[in-house]
Amino acid sequence: MRRVADMFKPLSRPAEMIHDISVLTLLICGVIFVIVTVLLVYVVIRFRQRPDDDGHEPPQIYGSTHIELAWTIIPILITVVLILVTSRTIGEIQNREMPENALKIRLVGHQWWWEIHYPEYGIITANEIHVPVSDRDPEKARPTHIVLQSADVIHSFWVPQLAGKTDLVPNKDNEIWIDPYEVGVYFGNCAEYCGTQHANMLLRVIVDTPENFQKWVDNQKAPPPPPTTPLEIEGERLFFANSCVSCHKVDRTVSQGVFGPDLTKLMTRQTIGAGVAPLTHENLWAWVKNPQDLKVDCYMPDMQLLPKEVDAITAYLETLK
Amino acid sequence: MATGPIDPNFKAPAPERVGEETGTWSHVIQNLVYTVDHKKLGLMYIGAGLLFFVVAGIMALLIRVQLFVPHSDFLEPAVFNRFFTMHGTAMVFLVGMPIIFGFANYLVPLMVGARDMAYPRLNAFGFWVFFFSSLFLYFSYFGAPGLYNAGSAPDVGWFAYSPLTSKAFSRGHSTDYWSLSLLLSGIGSIATSINILVTVFCLRCKGMTLGRMPLFVWLFIVVAFLVIIALPPLSACQIMITMDRYLGAKFFDTQAGGSAVLWQHFFWIFGHPEVYILILPGFAIASEVIPVFSRKPIFGYPIMVAASVMIAFISLGVWAHHMFTVGMTSLGNTFFAISTMVIAVPTGIKVFNWIGTMYGGKIRMELPMIFCIAFLFQFLIAGLTGIMLSVVPFDWQLSDSYFVVAHFHYVLIGGLLYTIFAGIYYWYPKAMGKMLSHKLGLWHFWLFTIGFHLTFLPQHVSGFLGMPRRIFTYEADRGWEIWNQLSTIGVPIQALGILFFVYNLIWSYYKGKEAGDDPWDAWTLEWACTSPPPEYNFEKAPEVRSRRPLWDLKHPEDPDWKFE
Amino acid sequence: MSTAEATSDWKLPSQRKVGMISLIITESALFTIFVVAYLFYMGKSLNGPYPYQVLHLPIWASFALFGSSVTIWFAEKALHKGSKIGFNIWWLITILMGAYFVYFTAEEWYHLIYKEGLTISTNVFGSTFYALVGLHVSHVIVGLVLLTIVFVSSLRGKLHHDHHEHVEMVSWYWHFVDAIWVVVLLVVYIISLNY
């Protein structure tokens, strides 16, 4: 698990490109910092008024064209270097051609969860993005290209170890690409204030081996097993009888709700509520009972269910795997 | 007021002090309410600004308490979101702007040898409009409740991005309090800036060509120009968002083809010059304090003027560096990266010139100078983190993270606030006739400085580690806790420093050492009158022949006008 | 401090002129944003009515407004020559032409709202159109108020030769309002008629 999303430990090509230019920038700024600070400290110490000062004013110097030129030209040169490397890196990241085999994903931001479409596979899921691992060798690389959209306000996709951030803006399609080198789970956040629960709009990118990724795809496409126990069947009945279906969808059923996350493969996810709590039986039960307890002001209301109804619905939801 | 033959000096006997003209409270209040005197209005601006500084500072304290530990429930999310919105909005519009206009109001007429501002009644209007707007903004806490959980103070961030501010996502009236109070305060700022421009261009005393004005005045010309050009876009934003919210207009309605990004463009076309409007007065103060306490004229006056003008001009063309993540083309991103990096050059030149002023001088480590030295160091850090942010790919990681929060607090606290402190320690004797206590000042300085760095230095690290802005809580294992804890610990230390400062301001008014006209042995015209100055400033309009008229008076054998 | 070398004529710019120029600069910045918004949204409305369907070049209104800039200039010249009657006549004509412009705008808006169904909330064209044209006509109205104040002062015999600059400043404001109309005419009634 890469919970500490350190931008200086990049594990994807765009993040690496960013890392390289960032280190260069830090070095340049570090050198400037040291030089100017040393100069400042020197001046403060050397030209301090001494206790035995005779009270005469020091020589009244008004300026010096040579010195002015020197400390204008050197910063200009540094600026030119930075401009050149910056423009090059911008182009390398933003205008990168995607290979044919790139995985294509469409990510839609909602208040306060993520909707993910895999158009090539016909999969819709939520809050966790599965991608196949890529390769450092450009010949063997399989990057993932993500189109970014928003259903409501502006959000931002930020998984520091995989790429810089790009915003999800309503009525504007943005795009980003990642090229992860190592299998694992990568953590990120929504990085544009989007309302009350902005802090709990968390993101996981799960990088699988190609085999595991295919297994995941197959599982996502397969129908969930039908409910068997009486409790699960009762839960299914309640799920469809209540207004759950006006917001949520379970594949191959009559539910068509798109306002909330697709629940078809809910149990394959690691968290509930876009990362607000791990997906355990207790947390799922608590969420179904009253989501406002875990994520106050989220758009799923307290459904005023009786505890035994919650038992049943939870049991049904736990079949969605 | 003059008695007898014409007095060759242009100062008059010291009047009674502000608030002491008559004895009663009602006279004091009437005095303040009816005044059009630039000095009183200046002090009122600064007083109001300091008051809101404490209020907004308390909000920051509460924010930091909430962030001390992960999953804290000290503050509810909605309350937290209102706090950071109000903290930012108040600090920019109710603290920064009034304090800088307060300084300008008090000092610009004195420095140019004028009797008052060009439009004294407009001046008063500007103050009261600002003051009303500040009360209006805070009234949102009481006045704005709307639908269930949809009212109270604004909670959309100080830059209020669309479409979060549309009626659909911001129900109730909280956003309206934000936009209308800023519309009002903008009017006040524009009025004051026009006043400054007319005063400086049209009321300078004899001999004071533009090339002989104190740098303080030059910087305020630049600030005033920026205000009259950059505040209208904010007003336009407020008009548009209010039309969207109440008349069904479609300026930012993405469902109707409107553009959320357009708000960002318009807002930052205001917002970036705004931060220069805030920091340039800090440069103005530093440019007065550093020479006096180094006992040398400012190094490179013409370049300082040119650099300031260049900064203002370029600042109108960098705004989209706040938008590098919004999905502009690579060409757009590159253009704004270039313009942002270019602005670093004249800014750096100014820092070097200040150091050049100190070089070869005799530095007096009085409090104004101590704060200016800290300013130089802290502004250096701020400028360098700014350069890092201008490197677009680096910004793709750092934007909207705590790194940016650290950057702008280094600019605004480490830069602007420190020069404001320097200015207060420098000019308080002039305004009040008493010196501020050096010892209390040192307590203020050290406590505040230690606290400031403890709070904001670690935030650079949490930014590097992926912590976004404006989150009311965070998870335990993201590597952010220690940095948040350090950050929070710094706050009570800063608060203690401020307490010493406030105590100093009050104690010194009654018990401070008598200041006299010119306690610092300075060179600009405000030191030629009594402390405090009489209402009409100068008994006889001054005449100057150089940039340092008092130096010429004190050193007739070596006057500036022989060398400039 | 100067002693023998007294500075000669100390000429500073006129307060009124610097003040009015500053006001014009700040108002120009405000108008610029609304013009940019209008240009940005040209062609982006998702539904009609569209500009080409409902807008017509306002020839007479523009003639009135531009003409009023000429008549105000005549009025100033008359004041300079000392002709109070001449000033009053030309000043009044200016006001009437400005008032006609406002009347035209009201008529145009009535037609657009009630006959064409274009309101501020119809589409982005409606929003940007009414905002920009409305901002302009509100400045015309303010200008008319200023002109009327001057006119009433003149009728009461309070206007003298010394007030030349005061009158000039009002006329600068009026010319500014006209200059904005040039831009609005170009952007709204010529360029956007292609959309």
Mean pLDDT of B447-455: 98
Nearest Cα residue in chain B from A40? B355
What averages of pLDDT result for each successive group of 10 residues across chain C (195 residues)? 54 96 98 98 94 95 97 94 92 97 97 97 97 98 97 91 90 98 97 93
Mean pLDDT of A106-132: 96
Mark which residues 91-120 of A lie under 8 Å from B by CB.
91, 93-95, 111
Q: Which two tokens stand for residue A132?
A: 């196949």
> So what's the pLDDT on residue B15?
61
pLDDT level of residue B4 (50, 70, 90 thresholds): very low
Instruction: Note the pLDDT tens digit of each residue in B514-557.
Output: 999 999 999 999 999 999 999 999 999 999 999 999 999 999 99
Q: Does residue C132 sit at the B interface (CB-CB below 8 Å)?
A: no
CB contacts, 8 Å: C128 with chain B = 251
Q: Residue B12 pLDDT > 90, yes or no?
A: no
Partner residue facing B471 (CB), from A148, A166, A199: A199
Q: Is the CB of C126 less than 8 angstroms away from the CB of B250?
A: yes
Q: Does residue C15 sit at the B interface (CB-CB below 8 Å)?
A: yes
Nearest Cα residue in chain B from C126? B249
> So what's the pLDDT on residue A274?
94
Q: Does residue A25 sit at the B interface (CB-CB below 8 Å)?
A: yes
Asked if residue B305 belongs to a domain, the reply is yes
Helix axes B438-464, B481-511, angle to 10 degrees: 160
Q: Does residue C26 sit at the B interface (CB-CB below 8 Å)?
A: yes
Chains in contact with B, counting 3 or more C-beta pairs less than 8 Å apart as contact: A, C
Q: What CATH number should be reported for the domain holding residue B486?
A: 1.20.210.10
Q: Does residue C127 sit at the B interface (CB-CB below 8 Å)?
A: yes
> B539: Cβ–Cβ under 8 A, 6 or more apart, which residues?
B1, B2, B7, B9, B10, B11, B12
Partner residue facing B333 (CB), from A79, A90, A163: A90
Q: What percent of chain B has pLDDT over 90?
A: 90
Q: Which residues pair with A155 in a beta bridge?
A: A168
* CATH architecture classification, C15-42+59-194: Up-down Bundle (1.20)
The strands making up A184-190's β-sheet, listed across from edge to edge, are A128-132, A202-208, A184-190, A155-158, A166-168
Asked if residue B506 belongs to a domain, the reply is yes
Is the alpha carbon torsion for A13, A18, A19, A21 positive or negative? positive
Instruction: Note the pLDDT tens digit of each residue in A24-34.
Output: 999 999 999 99
Q: Does residue C25 sit at the B interface (CB-CB below 8 Å)?
A: yes
> So what's the pLDDT on residue B106?
98
To the nearest whole angstrom, how far is the Cα of A223 from the nearest Cα of chain B? 34
Q: What residues does each domain of chain A span?
A: 1-48+97-208, 230-317
Q: Residue A235 pLDDT > 90, yes or no?
A: yes
Q: Which two tokens stand for residue C98?
A: 């400005």
Q: Which domain holds residue B498?
A: 37-562
> So what's the pLDDT on residue B24?
78
Chains in contact with C, counting 3 or more C-beta pairs less than 8 Å apart as contact: B
Instruction: Note the pLDDT tens digit of each residue in B138-195.
Output: 989 877 665 454 458 999 999 999 999 999 999 888 999 999 999 999 999 999 999 9
What's the first-to-final CA gap in chain A, in angstroms? 22
> So what's the pLDDT on residue B1?
40
Nearest Cα residue in chain B from C9? B206
How many B/C residue pairs have CB atoms within 8 Å?
119
Same fold, A1-48+97-208 and A230-317: yes
Q: What percent of chain A has pLDDT over 70?
A: 99
> So what's the pLDDT on residue B2?
40
pLDDT level of residue B3 (50, 70, 90 thresholds): very low
Of 1.10.540.10, 2.60.40.420, 3.20.20.140, 1.50.10.10, which CATH number belongs to A230-317? 2.60.40.420
pLDDT level of residue A318 (50, 70, 90 thresholds): very high
Does domain A1-48+97-208 fall under CATH 3.90.226.10? My reply is: no
Nearest Cα residue in chain B from A168? B326
3+ Cβ–Cβ pairs closer than 8 Å linking C and A = no
Q: How many angstroms separate the CA atoms of C123 and C121, rounded?
A: 6
* A225 closest CA partner among A313, A316, A320: A320
3-state secondary structure B279-304: HHHHHHHHHHHHHHHHCCCCCCHHHH
Q: Is the CB of A153 less than 8 angstroms away from the CB of B344?
A: no
Q: Which two tokens stand for residue C108?
A: 């145009």
Q: How many angstroms separate the CA atoms of B20 and A271, rounded?
A: 67
Q: Is the CB of B296 less than 8 angstroms away from the CB of A60?
A: yes
Nearest 5°: the CA angle B165, A115, A181 is: 115
Q: Does residue C157 sit at the B interface (CB-CB below 8 Å)?
A: no
The interface predicted TM-score of the complex, written ipTM, equals 0.96
Mean pLDDT of A113-142: 95
Q: How many angstroms separate the CA atoms of B183 and B233, rounded?
A: 10
Mean pLDDT of B282-311: 97
Nearest Cα residue in chain C from B206? C10
Q: Residue A223 pLDDT > 60, yes or no?
A: yes
Asked if residue B189 belongs to a domain, the reply is yes
Number of domains in chain B: 1
- When the pLDDT of each residue in chain B is averaged and rounded to a whole number, the result is 94
pLDDT level of residue B5 (50, 70, 90 thresholds): low
pLDDT level of residue B21 (50, 70, 90 thresholds): low
Q: Is the CB of B325 less than 8 angstroms away from the CB of A82?
A: no
pLDDT level of residue B239 (50, 70, 90 thresholds): very high
Asked if residue B414 belongs to a domain, the reply is yes
Q: Residue A234 pLDDT > 50, yes or no?
A: yes
